[in-house]
Amino acid sequence: MTRKHLIAGNWKMNETIPEAVVLAQEISNGADPATLDVVDVAVCPPFVDLKPVKTVFEFDKVNVALGAQNVYWEPKGAFTGEISIPMIKEIGCTYCIIGHSERRNLFGETNEGVNLKARALIEAGIVPIICVGESLSVRDEGVYLDFVTSQVRAAYAGIDAEDAVRTVVAYEPVWAIGTGRTATPEQAEEVCAAIRATLWDLFGEETAESMRVLYGGSMNEGNAALLLAEADIDGGLIGGAALKASSFLEIVKAAK
Ligand SMILES: O=C(CO)COP(=O)(O)O
């Protein structure tokens, strides 16, 4: 089964609107249209940057999709400070990251919340990028496969194969995020393969084999090709290296 690679840039809490416009323009100017036909590419800027970034890509007619970094599952109402799925949909998001370890660890996001978000996004036709990954202490205890696969099972509770096929999983070991300490291709593949085995168990072979499992954590232009060559790694969720257009585009090229 050949799966189209997806390279998604998670800009995290970086880039004011003018900075975001410059970065989007650099990506747009540097992107090779032929590569964008064979690799799915998305950027996930902060909420306030979504519209300006969208405008750049639309004006340049460049095939880069837009994603949000978080969302709330209720459609509207008294939820001060939250952003709804209809809002990100209207602005043009086709992806939404959920369950990022920074949200889980710093903002109390739970497996249950991730599941509610996944279901609401699927319902709205937006692709959730469901993040899972273990901390260093969990890895050192040797129970990381159990930990990560139970995060996957919790995220997909009540979701059937027909809907699961429209989702993406991102394996992001917490110890590799922003640390420069990338998982080796073998370490990343071991967990991504275990995630796929879990998806197989939940949804059957055909669905599991057609779903994309990304790796994220200090992925850059120097290590992307080897990570992306692994059988169960279908793309990358890029943090720091996504903030420099040339690095991001090198990773996109490596995903061809
Ligand atoms: O958290 C990440 C993407 O969501 C990875 O971040 P870094 O690429 O900066 O390690």
CATH number of the CATH domain containing 192: 3.20.20.70
On whether residue 113 sits in a domain, the answer given is: yes
On whether residue 242 sits in a domain, the answer given is: yes
Q: For residue 103, what are its two tokens?
A: 């949200």
Helix, strand or coil for residue 255?
coil
Does the ipTM surpass 0.85?
yes
Does 125 belong to an annotated binding site? no
Q: Which helix (H) or strand (E) holds 249?
A: helix 245-254
Q: Measure the CA angle with vertex 154, ends 167 and 119; round to 5°.
A: 45
Best mutation site among 101, 175, 237 for ligand 1 pocket (most ligand atoms within 8 Å of CB): 237
On whether residue 51 sits in a domain, the answer given is: yes
Residue 66: which of 86, 85, 83, 41 has the closest Cα?
Answer: 41
Catalytic residue ranges: 100, 172
Q: What is the per-residue pLDDT for 2?
A: 82
Nearest residue (CA) to ligand 1, atom 7: 239
On whether residue 1 sits in a domain, the answer given is: no
CA dist., res. 103 & res. 175, Å (int)? 15
pLDDT digits (tens, 9 = 90+) for 213-232: 999 999 999 999 999 999 99
On whether residue 192 sits in a domain, the answer given is: yes
Cα(240) to centroid of ligand 1, in Å?
6
On whether residue 154 sits in a domain, the answer given is: yes
Does 240 belong to an annotated binding site? yes
On whether residue 177 sits in a domain, the answer given is: yes
On whether residue 95 sits in a domain, the answer given is: yes
Number of domains in the chain: 1
Q: Which domain holds residue 68?
A: 6-254
Cα(89) to centroid of ligand 1, in Å?
24
Residue 10, ligand 1, Cβ within 6 A: yes
Residue 232: which of 215, 248, 219, 253 has the closest Cα?
Answer: 215
pLDDT digits (tens, 9 = 90+) for 23-54: 999 999 999 999 999 999 999 999 999 999 99
pLDDT digits (tens, 9 = 90+) for 52-104: 999 999 999 999 999 999 999 999 999 999 999 999 999 999 999 999 999 99
Best mutation site among 101, 130, 172, 181 for ligand 1 pocket (most ligand atoms within 8 Å of CB): 172
Q: What is the per-residue pLDDT for 1?
A: 65
Mean pLDDT of 107-119: 98
Nearest residue (CA) to ligand 1, atom 3: 239
